[in-house]
Amino acid sequence: MDWQSVSEQLLNLLGGKENIRSVQACMTRLRIGVYDIDKVKTEEIKAVPGVLGVVESDTIQIVFGPGKVDKAREAFLARYERVGMPGTAEIAKTGETAGRNTEDNKQDTVFMAKKNKKARREKFNKPLQRFLKRIANIFVPMLPGIVAAGLINGIINIINVRTGGSFSGVWWYECISSMGWALFAYLPVFTGYNAAGEFGGSPILGGIIGAICVANPSMPLLKTIGETQIHLPMTGTVYNPGNGGLIAALIAGALFACLEKKIRKYMPDSIDTIISPLIVLVIAGIVIVSVIQPVSTVLTNAIYVVLKFVYSKMGIAGGYILSAGFLPLVSVGLHQALVPIHTMLNDPAGPTGGVNYLLPLLMMSGGGQVGAGVALYIKTGNKKLKQVIRDSLPVGILGIGEPLMYAVTLPLGKPFVMACLGAGFGGAVMSLFHVGAISQGVSGIFGLLIIKPGDQLQYLLAMICAITGGFVLTWFFGTDEQRINEIYGTVFE
């Protein structure tokens, strides 16, 4: 793949360097923030080599798939740095061209641009969407570490069980084990850091605030004076840094970023650098211990209770609902908002012991899509659709569902619904066998790598049920040849 050529095309189709506001990458998508979304040529971006799909949201999310997205990001940033801003001659030329328009045309153009921009902003700028996207922005940069640390913990556990702990005390083995431990032990620091930055504060202050949620015997608040530990006046108990965990760090980082901005707004410039951070940390220390952690503990427990109710009490029905309802979240890019929940579930010190029973249910959504794609491929006579499915199915089987979703099921409508409903059957089976995952970051066949040892056969059985469900439902209820020909043209084999 010529990533230099790809990045050059993307930069032009995104409206040029002056239209780029931010560049980020998650596991499969290049997320580009733009100033004017009307300058973005979405349909042409979809035709760029390597691009699997495009999601229009508050950012332009260009789907490349795992591995490739990092190369795309590096090439794009390199190209961005090499391209200069438009020169005065170009600006003058643009002005002359605009001057040749009639006054009426100019008014119509401005009106339509504002109307389209407002409509797009209203469509993708709902309060809930903005909130969930902020949460995703906090955790997406941490995903590589979360995935790697989770896999290390899972592998270490397997080795310990299979060998009876025979490697215990071996320096290189304990060194690798420490890498898996470190991420989850200090995750509140990274969470506070990113949360403060996302909400406009100083990231380092967020990291310091998050550190108070890390259990460290050297913490002054955990001192033993004589033979007595320090007790909090609010509860009369010894301080527990783990109260509220990840959610406490997230709330504190965001809240005190907002407080910092307020303080800096009124603080004289001459003392701002010294006094503002001092005030934030002093207030934060008292508030997080006395208010935020207790509230966060309630929220954390509530999340576990809800998940346990859906998973345990609702049983097969709960598994079906969770699996069937996941694809719509993926289609609008909101699935990343679930990363903090997966992270809590994969924490070895958490109530599930590091085994995530939610993720395998959601992974069934890819199976439903594969089944829908196969049914469409066999039943349709449209040559172009068959070609698109041939290109999309292999990566779909490997766990990258965006090509099938954005190029096949979602545009057609009915197959997307059938894929969702079909995925639910896989979720029901997954719930029946209580299949768990020890990490996150992969799906499809590759999902076998992160499934709890001993659950692999059950995982495969559930995936087959999801594929079968998507296939059968799409075959009988999701195929509309007229709609297919409208979308892909009347080209038949």
Per-residue pLDDT at 97? 43
* Per-position b or e across 49-64, b if 16+ CB within 10 A of its CB: ebbbbbbebbbbbbbb
Question: How many Cα neighbours within 13 Å face the side chain of 93?
Answer: 5
Q: Please work out, in degrees rounded to the nearest 5, the angle formed at the alpha carbon of residue 417 by the alpha carbons of 413 and 422.
A: 145
What whole-number distance in Å separates Cα of residue 27 and Cα of residue 25?
7
Alpha carbon 386 to its chain centroid, in Å, reads 30
What whole-number distance in Å separates Cα of residue 303 and Cα of residue 295?
13
Residue with tokens 């403060």: 196
What whole-number distance in Å separates Cα of residue 116 and Cα of residue 74?
32
User: How does pLDDT run along the chain (493 residues), one tens digit per residue?
Assistant: 889 999 999 999 999 989 998 888 876 788 898 988 889 998 899 889 888 788 887 789 898 876 688 889 889 988 887 765 443 333 334 444 444 444 444 344 344 334 444 444 455 556 666 776 787 788 878 878 877 887 787 788 778 877 888 898 899 999 999 998 898 889 899 999 999 999 999 999 999 999 998 988 889 998 888 888 888 887 788 888 888 878 899 999 999 999 999 999 999 988 998 999 999 999 999 999 989 998 988 888 888 888 888 877 888 999 999 999 998 888 766 676 677 888 888 888 777 888 899 999 999 999 999 999 999 999 998 888 888 888 888 888 888 787 788 778 888 889 999 999 999 999 999 999 999 998 887 788 888 888 988 899 999 999 999 999 999 999 999 998 888 888 777 654 4
* Whether the Cβ atoms of residue 80 and residue 11 lie closer than 8 Å to each other: yes
Catalytic site includes residue 26: yes
Per-residue pLDDT at 490? 62
* Whether the Cβ atoms of residue 255 and residue 210 lie closer than 8 Å to each other: no
- Of the candidates 26, 213, 420, 465, the residue annotated as catalytic is 26
Beta bridge partners of 356: 437
Class of domain 3-125: alpha beta
Per-residue pLDDT at 341? 84
Span 229-266, pLDDT tens digits: 888 887 788 888 888 878 899 999 999 999 999 999 99
Per-residue pLDDT at 196? 94
* Whether the Cβ atoms of residue 452 and residue 434 lie closer than 8 Å to each other: no
Per-residue pLDDT at 336? 67
What whole-number distance in Å separates Cα of residue 406 and Cα of residue 473?
19
What whole-number distance in Å separates Cα of residue 174 and Cα of residue 168?
7
User: 434: phi > 0 → left, psi -120 to 50 → alpha, else beta; which?
Assistant: left
Tokens of 172: 């290189």
- Domains of the chain, by residue range, sit at 3-125, 186-302, 317-488
